[in-house]
Amino acid sequence: MDRRRFVINLVSNFFSALSGVGISFFLTPYIVEHLGKEAYGFFPLSNNFVMYAGIITTALNSMSSRYITISLEKKDIKEVNTYFNSVLFGNILISIGFVLVSAVFCFFIDRILDIPGNLLYDVRLLFIFIFISLIINVSSAVFSVTAFALNRFDKLAFINIISNVLKLGIIIILFYFFTPRIYFLGVVTAVTAVYICYANYRVTKKLLPEVQIDWSFFSRSALSLIVGSGIWNSIMAMSNVINTQLDLLIANHFFKASGMGFLSLTKFIPNAIYILLGIIVPIFLPEMLKAYAQNDMRKLKLNLDLSFKAIFLVVLMPLAVFFIYGDVFFKLWLPTQDSKALHILSVITLVPFIVHGTIETVYHVFVITNKLKIASFWGIFISILNFILVILLCLYSSLGVYAIPVAALISGVFSHLTFTPLYAAYCLQESRWYFFLKMIKGLSGFIVLILITFGWRKLNLITTDTWLTFMANCFILGIILLIVTLFMKFDKATRTDVYKKLKQKVNL
């Protein structure tokens, strides 16, 4: 892997994720304070409906990057144009269907969801604007593939950073000069969708001017090929939606708007993690695709190992701190809410991710080897199991809103400890224990970080009753955990190389 390009992509994407999470971090307490947790809960719920629509679009868009990247590697520009235009016009047709479905949903929204009477008008407008952004994003999805295929994630990250700055500016204007309304967030989402569409189009024309938008390049056979491969990704997306995106809808049904609102507050940390993963994980995919296209399995596995280490360092290490200090975080962030309950709910939600996060990029193996069928069927089985567990626990247990993440924990951990590592090893023609060993190493490392963090809190060297002392405590603890992680996850040669480069930078 080109280290310079990798570092540029990683750093730029990290700041992109940071800008998006930062807005949510400061905005959530404001909305909860001024509009209430019930009103806030409808914003993440509306975004979940975007994920439901993604089940359909995934069949087309998930595999478009694979075919366009491989065509670029073969330097077959005509084939690139064929795939590009087939996906573009296919997405436009899908968007027309979304227009009709969205109109019907928004008209009957009060019969579909439990919405307090005083929020009905605002929530309806919120969903209208969110669906407008969905239609824009779906229609223009293929414009982001060029930067992906050419490994220019820094371009996509820059666009995301600018869109977040734009989002922040519009939010400040709307919430400062007008009476706060929940649908303002929908307006902001729609405006940024227009910007992202335009920016991705400009990047496409700049990086790959050979691409032409022309109906003559549209090919039903190319579209069928991509959808045929991607249909299994759609099935996997559907299972993922059932496992992770139905929770607020179920909470709205069983525990009304109040229960849904409380559960939505626990989504901040998991969503922040998934945003970060959504930016970090794809960085490794282009090199993996190239290695597989060149039949270089050694290079492919080296990139997989590097991705495991990067995710442990960037994601799992901070989560070790959250697992121990999460109650303090919520007490400072949302002082009017039950910080201990929010912490417990968040930890329950994150446990399945910790198990799978040790080998998060392993799902790329299914895409790269184009062996998605069995993985898709398994995903459906797990999602059905999870759905049944959720309904049973909501109906017959005394867990209350805790029933929803507990069911996801049971089904998620079961899947991550059985099928995922076994089938990924089969796809790479490795020993069945290949990924199990990596998971054991990852989980062992995470437990070490948890124990260190727990011991540090017991020492109580810094009183964490303000944001300043909390951040100072996390900074010092983070340095300790970073040093431990570097020794656990990276060999001596890598550590020495990093040290020398840092020494040169600071002129020690």
The chain-wide mean pLDDT, for the chain, equals 83
DSSP state of 462: S
The pLDDT of residue 476: 95
Residues 249-289: tens digit of each pLDDT? 888 889 888 888 888 888 888 888 877 777 677 777 777 87
- DSSP states of 278-319 as a string? HHHHHHHHHHHHHHHHTT-HHHHHHHHHHHHHHHIIIIIHHH
**286 against 494, higher pLDDT:** 286
Amino acid at 93: L
Residues 352-373: tens digit of each pLDDT? 888 887 877 777 788 777 777 7
152's tokens = 């220019």
The pLDDT of residue 508: 43
Compute the distance between CA of residue 166 and CA of residue 161 in angstroms, rounded to an integer: 9
Give the percent of the chain with pLDDT over 90.
23
Residues 437-476: tens digit of each pLDDT? 888 988 999 999 999 999 999 998 888 889 999 999 999 9
**154 has a pLDDT exceeding 60:** yes
Q: What is the mean pLDDT of residues 494-506?
A: 58
Please report which confidence band the pLDDT of residue 488 belongs to, taking 50, 70 and 90 as the band edges.
confident
**505 has a pLDDT exceeding 50:** no
Determine the number of helices (DSSP H) and then strands (DSSP E) in the chain. Answer: 22, 0
Q: Is 507 left (phi over 0), alpha (psi -120 to 50) or beta?
A: left
Amino acid at 109: I
Give the percent of the chain with pLDDT over 70.
91
The pLDDT of residue 73: 74
How far is residue 196 CA from its own chain's centroid? 18
The pLDDT of residue 477: 94
The pLDDT of residue 162: 86
Residues 177-203: tens digit of each pLDDT? 888 888 999 999 999 999 988 998 888
Question: In residues, how long is the chain?
Answer: 508
- Contact assessment for residue 388 and residue 350, using Cβ atoms and an 8 Å cutoff: no
The pLDDT of residue 456: 95
The pLDDT of residue 11: 66
The alpha carbon dihedral of 264, 270, 272, 275 has a sign of negative
Residues 49-87: tens digit of each pLDDT? 777 777 777 767 767 777 777 777 777 778 888 888 888
**322 against 271, higher pLDDT:** 322
CA 102-103-105 angle, to 5 degrees, is: 65
The pLDDT of residue 129: 94
pTM confidence score: 0.76
**403 has a pLDDT exceeding 70:** yes
**5 has a pLDDT exceeding 70:** no
- The 3-state DSSP composition of the chain as helix, strand, coil percent (nearest 5) reads 85, 0, 15
Q: Which has the closest alpha carbon to 258: 394, 106, 401, 47?
A: 401
